[in-house]
Amino acid sequence: MASLLWLLVWAAGVIWILVLGTAVYATGISRGPVDDRVANVMILAGGVFLPTLVLGGLVTWTVWTMSGLRVPDEQGLRVAVSGEQWWWRVAYEGPDGNPVASANEIRLPAGETVTLELSSPDVIHSFWIPSIAGKMDMIPGRVNELVLEPTKPGIYRGVCAEYCGTSHALMAFSVVVMEPDAFAAWLAEEARPASASSAHEGLALFLENGCGACHAIRGTEADGRVGPDLTHVASRKSLGAGILPVTQAALEEWITHTREVKPDARMPPYDMLPEAEIATIAGYLASLK
């Protein structure tokens, strides 16, 4: 792309000088009318032949260069990321080939090629991890592939970079780049069902109040697909797509003041529940490491 850019800059520069030179010659240096035959040759050469040659050549070279931008065959780990209203649905290609559902955080192995499959069910979002790769749109009805290779372990911030509705600015995520061994261990752990006891009173309340219709907690009866998968929610760096810490207090705040924290979020606030029940549910979620 850089060589294409420089060729265009040089070609445009040469043509610019030619055109200005002709104009200066015609208005300043040359006196008197030009011979008809010379004029016809100039119009044909400069108006038809030269543009056809230059534009044809540039188009050919551009198309030829584009083939080099095709996604490489070696695409490594695949992670599907979907832009939702206003959070990120994430699914890893698991150790056994089955997808591992997660949300609002992306973990990647350092030094390895990763292909992110970007999509959206409804409106256009733009997926952007400034420290690692350029922006790419998430467009309903298609899957855009972003191939990247993070090199340095660390925690990076990702954002939505295209206005997508009321809480567009509250749609962030963390990217955790890990050493490959640590990543493999983490993915194996993430693929497992929830670790918390299924006898936890918070789980009973979670199911009783219908939370499981929208959220999945693998290993329990909760298998909703509308909202974020919560199987390991407490092991994530943030809650609510990059806006709250993962603490008991933040979980309670989210459950009861959902739409103050994130205007127009699909989840309704559950502030009608008794405080003790909220605390028990939040306590259960905080134990889902």
Residues lying near ligand CUA in the complex (CB under 6 A): 83, 86, 125, 160, 162-164, 168, 171
Distance CA 64, CA 69 (A): 10
Phi, psi of 93 (to 5 degrees): -80, 110
**Based on CB atoms, which residue is closest to ligand CUA, 160 or 285?**
160
The least distance separating ligand CUA from the CB of residue 174, rounded to whole angstroms, comes to 16
Helix (H, G, I), strand (E, B) or coil at 71: coil
Burial grade of 266 (CB within 10 A; 0-12, 13-18, 19 or more): middle
The least distance separating ligand CUA from the CB of residue 92, rounded to whole angstroms, comes to 21
Distance CA 71, CA 162 (A): 24
**Based on CB atoms, which residue is closest to ligand CUA, 126 or 280?**
126
**Based on CB atoms, which residue is closest to ligand CUA, 108 or 160?**
160
**Based on CB atoms, which residue is closest to ligand CUA, 172 or 255?**
172
**Based on CB atoms, which residue is closest to ligand CUA, 128 or 254?**
128
Does residue 54 come out as left (phi exceeding 0), alpha (psi in the -120 to 50 range) or beta?
Answer: alpha
Distance CA 110, CA 122 (A): 32
Phi, psi of 225 (to 5 degrees): -120, 0
DSSP 209: T
**Based on CB atoms, which residue is closest to ligand CUA, 124 or 182?**
124
**Based on CB atoms, which residue is closest to ligand CUA, 161 or 217?**
161
The least distance separating ligand CUA from the CB of residue 73, rounded to whole angstroms, comes to 31
The least distance separating ligand CUA from the CB of residue 263, rounded to whole angstroms, comes to 13
Residue 10 identity: W
The least distance separating ligand CUA from the CB of residue 164, rounded to whole angstroms, comes to 3
The least distance separating ligand CUA from the CB of residue 93, rounded to whole angstroms, comes to 24
Question: What is the b/e burial string over 100-118, where b = at least 16 CB atoms within 10 angstroms of the residue's CB?
Answer: bbbbbbbbbbbeeebbbbb
Q: Residue 40 is encoded by which pair of tokens?
A: 């016809």
Nearest to 148 by CA among 79, 87, 225: 79
Spatial contact of 90 and 104, defined as CB atoms under 8 Å apart: yes
Distance CA 231, CA 240 (A): 15
**Based on CB atoms, which residue is closest to ligand CUA, 164 or 282?**
164
The least distance separating ligand CUA from the CB of residue 177, rounded to whole angstroms, comes to 22
Q: Residue 58 is encoded by which pair of tokens?
A: 């540039």
Distances (CA, A) of 73 to 31, 46, 70, 96, 147: 63, 44, 9, 22, 11
The least distance separating ligand CUA from the CB of residue 243, rounded to whole angstroms, comes to 13
